[in-house]
């Protein structure tokens, strides 16, 4: 009986430790997303803070670009233009986070607003997914897809 109780206690301890670790990783992945939002909306055309969140081999299927961005140079060019949009803001409507061994995914919806060339506020509602790889304790974006939300 003592042996069974020990096995049960050990199993519960492992389960609780695993759950706490998974919750911590989920929080880290969600924080990586929020760091990206802050970096994008404060970069003001100087996207180094945004690019530092991407792995060197990252791929971006961007909201406002028709072609896949496959190189660091292409990402930089896109984010110079995107983060340079006047009065750029982003709000998140939905964030779904899943964590797996060594990688994680954030899916959801966000809305960007910025001042257009005509001085009027433009609104772009989009859906997204970010795939992250854990590199030395940092969740780096390896794949990012963002597309305009289709009309119902």
Residue ranges of the domains in the chain? 2-148
State residue 128's pLDDT score: 98
What would the pLDDT profile of 50-96 be if each residue is shown by its tens digit? 999 999 999 999 999 999 999 999 999 999 999 999 999 999 999 99
State residue 22's pLDDT score: 58
Distance in angstroms (rounded) separating the CA atoms of residues 139 and 72: 18
What would the pLDDT profile of 116-139 be if each residue is shown by its tens digit? 989 999 999 999 999 999 999 999
pLDDT band at 151 (very low <50, low <70, confident <90, very high): confident
pLDDT band at 7 (very low <50, low <70, confident <90, very high): low
CB 119 within 8 A of CB 96: no
- CA distances, 101 to each of 14, 46, 105, 133 (Å): 16, 33, 11, 9
Mean predicted lDDT score pLDDT of the chain? 90
Q: Give the three-class secondary structure for 101.
A: coil
Domain 2-148 has what CATH class? alpha beta
């Amino acid at each position: 009986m003592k042996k069974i109780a020990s096995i049960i206690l050990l199993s519960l301890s492992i389960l609780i430790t695993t759950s706490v670790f998974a919750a911590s990783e989920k929080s880290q992945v969600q924080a990586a997303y929020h760091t990206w939002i802050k970096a994008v909306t404060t970069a003001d055309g100087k996207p180094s803070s945004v690019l530092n969140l991407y792995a060197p081999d990252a791929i971006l299927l961007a909201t406002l670009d028709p072609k896949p961005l496959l190189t660091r140079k292409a990402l930089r060019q896109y984010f110079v233009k995107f983060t340079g949009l006047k009065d750029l803001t982003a709000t998140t409507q939905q964030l779904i986070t899943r964590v797996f061994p060594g990688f994680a995914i954030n899916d959801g919806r966000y809305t960007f607003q910025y001042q257009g060339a005509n001085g009027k506020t433009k609104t772009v509602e989009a859906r997204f997914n970010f795939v992250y790889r854990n590199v030395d304790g940092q969740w780096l974006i390896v794949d990012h897809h963002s597309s305009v939300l289709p009309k119902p």
